[in-house]
Structure 1
């Protein structure tokens, strides 16, 4: 017997990476950004493992990393000051950039609960 899961929504997500030294191509996953157009959902979550980050870059400014992640979350909530759609915000946040916090490639899937899916991705990919 199949379980009724309710309405399924397509979603896209990117893993946010902290890349302390681009020349070494090393990174630590620090967050996830998830967007679902049909669910009208855009949200980011993050977790910093300070010990892992310091192992890669002892002089890394962890407050700057936290600030960059907080800025991503603020844009998701619409606090950027620009009146743009969720899809435009996701596109802007998911665009490649060469900063300490960078988005990885865009992936997709289906979910009946985008918030729960975001939590699952955080637990699985960030730790």
Structure 2
């Protein structure tokens, strides 16, 4: 059960990260396609749209899975130091996202840079946790 919940966290996190990936691909490649390839642009944006629309929900799902995962592991096994590091990183990540959404109302700023940096640090925290478990 603990492993299943851990993978639920990873999948939710990856779905949330696709928001950034799709936006970058759109900005640097898709939007620069010539007008004769408008169909490709439209198709890409159809695929991209749900990931942008539901980005915050994927993040909230990840933190929910993290909470359940932590409780389950705490009650049945031992707490992994690398798991604690990954959990703290995710709590910071989601907190920054909530701050940007609720307080800053989506306006860009330092919070967004930090949110993105922590999101990439999260990759290493998860990888370290999986490798050391």
- Which of the two has higher C-alpha Rg? 2
Alignment TM-score > 0.5, same fold: no
Higher relative contact order (CA 8 A, sep 6+): 1
Give the TM-score of the pair, scaled to structure 1: 0.32
**Structure with higher strand content:** 1
Higher helix share: 2
TM-score, with length taken from structure 2: 0.31
